Amino acid sequence: MHPLTDLEKAAVLRIVAENKSRPGPLIEILHGVQANLGYVPAAAVPVIAAGLNLSRAEVHGVVTFYHFFRDHPVGRHVVRLCQAESCQAMGAAALTAHAKRRLGIDFHQTSADGAFTLEPVYCLGNCACSPALMIDGDLMGRVTAEDFDAMVTAGSRT
């Protein structure tokens, strides 16, 4: 287990302290940690557990239950490609194949240049404009292979 840096540990402790008096705070804390560090490091689990008086197993169980939380660093951009029915009806499978080929990776992996991590997602609520994807917090609709490539070109530089 990779230990937390002093800065990371301070961030986790601060997020725990800010939230611990709220009802049912664990998921809020995990959101805070992931927003701050980019992921929930395994070494953050005992720190959070101690702060909330929970067992490490309880915290680990929550981190691993939810698809959104991850225990490893990601690329500079996270691309979530919708795989659900509405997008399938509009060619999501072909777009997914194109995306994987273009980035040279499979789902849950990060491109060699560190720019993109590709994740599947099951519905972005953009079903009248399928197929859809979300890059970081930005939604894209009626995405074509050309749109995807343009996004990759732009995102590679930032």
Q: Which residues bind another protein (CB under 8 A)?
A: 23-28, 30-31, 61-62, 65-69, 80, 84-90, 121-130, 132, 134, 137-142
In the complex with another protein, which residue's Cβ is closer, 6 or 23?
23
Task: Please name which of 89, 127, 85, 119 lies closest in space to residue 103, comparing C-alpha atoms.
Answer: 119
In the complex with another protein, which residue's Cβ is closer, 100 or 147?
147
Q: How far is the CB of 29 from another protein (least distance, A)?
A: 8
In the complex with another protein, which residue's Cβ is closer, 4 or 124?
124
DSSP bridge pairs for 138: 135
Q: How far is the CB of 130 from another protein (least distance, A)?
A: 6
Angle, alpha carbons 48-50-26 (nearest 5°): 40
Q: What is residue 129's DSSP assignment?
A: G
Q: How far is the CB of 101 from another protein (least distance, A)?
A: 20
In the complex with another protein, which residue's Cβ is closer, 86 or 110?
86
Query: b or e along 8-32 (b: 16 or more beta carbons within 10 Å of the residue's beta carbon)?
Result: beebbbebbeebeeeeebbeebbbb
Q: How far is the CB of 13 from another protein (least distance, A)?
A: 18
Helix 26-37 vs helix 44-52: crossing angle, to nearest 10: 150
